[in-house]
Amino acid sequence: MGGLSVAVPFLLYAWAGLRLPAGYSALLNTTAVLFGTLASSWFKEDTLTARKLLGCVCGFIGVGLIVRLGPVRPDAATIAAALACVLAAACYGCSTPLMKRATTRMQPLAIAAGIHAGAMVLVLPGALWAWPQATFTPTGMAAVLVMGVVTSGLAYWAHLRIIRHVTPVAAMSPVFLIPVFGVTWGHLFLGEELSSGIFVGGALVLLASALVTGFNPLRRNPPVP
């Protein structure tokens, strides 16, 4: 679980971040819901329906549009980085049903701590090998601290507390918000260019996520008896 949910995805996203805009990574991250749906069905934690399969197809078409029509030229390096993001999202998705099973045996805080301890053991050899080439700036260290403590450590603890009570796919629904903030902050603070491919492909990915989770903002909740 430490390798699937922390070590491998963070390594892949960090590598892809050298070649892709932040908005790309944020949009491609939503494919985690698609992989989570397939993995949850495989592990018998959820059922696979025609609507969910349609969502998976729409999601992969959306990813293709993002890479093909976005502001970044779709050369070999861009495609490799996009595939790295999709693989990272696949790791996230596949780890979610495993987290669901773990919550039946352990407390969320213990699981979150164990996941990150295991991930540290996995990445430590590579980190020591790359240490001489690293540049430790205050801004960079602050960013790593926020990602490690807030967006990973505390976020996983909250995620595990939620997943105890809902299905794995439902627990992944906050992924819907990542593209909104990722594309917005990338454009505002990093000056990343927007294009039709980002909007069309991103809309398809979000539609796919809604299909696989059953999310419908127009549907009224049934009255509570």
| Ordered DSSP codes for 163-218 | HTTS-HHHHTGGGGHHHHHHHHHHHHHH-PPP-HHHHHHHHHHHHHHHHHHT--TT
pLDDT digits (tens, 9 = 90+) for 50-83: 877 787 777 777 777 766 656 667 788 888 998 9
**pLDDT exceeds cutoff 50 at 4:** yes
Q: Is 47 within the bounds of a domain?
A: yes
Average the pLDDT over 181-186 and give the result: 76
CB atoms within 10 A of CB 17: 15
**pLDDT exceeds cutoff 50 at 223:** no
* pLDDT category of residue 217 using cuts at 50, 70 and 90: low
| pLDDT the model gives residue 177 | 66
Q: Is 36 within the bounds of a domain?
A: yes
**pLDDT exceeds cutoff 90 at 88:** yes
Q: Is 22 within the bounds of a domain?
A: yes
| pLDDT the model gives residue 113 | 94
Two tokens at 49? 């329906």
**pLDDT exceeds cutoff 50 at 189:** yes
* pLDDT category of residue 199 using cuts at 50, 70 and 90: confident
**pLDDT exceeds cutoff 80 at 16:** yes
- The tally of domains found in the chain comes to 1
Q: Is 198 within the bounds of a domain?
A: yes
Domain residues for the domain of 17 are 2-99+168-213
* pLDDT category of residue 116 using cuts at 50, 70 and 90: very high
pLDDT digits (tens, 9 = 90+) for 20-39: 888 778 878 878 888 888 88
CB-based contacts of 61: which residues, under 8 Å, 6+ apart?
204
Q: Is 48 within the bounds of a domain?
A: yes
| pLDDT the model gives residue 224 | 41
Q: Is 128 within the bounds of a domain?
A: no
The Cα 92–Cα 28 span in angstroms is 12
| pLDDT the model gives residue 119 | 93
User: How buried is residue 43: exposed, middle or buried, by Cβ count under 10 Å (0-12/13-18/19+)?
Assistant: middle
**pLDDT exceeds cutoff 80 at 172:** no
User: Is pTM beyond 0.85 here?
Assistant: no
Q: Is 163 within the bounds of a domain?
A: no
Higher pLDDT, 43 or 139: 139
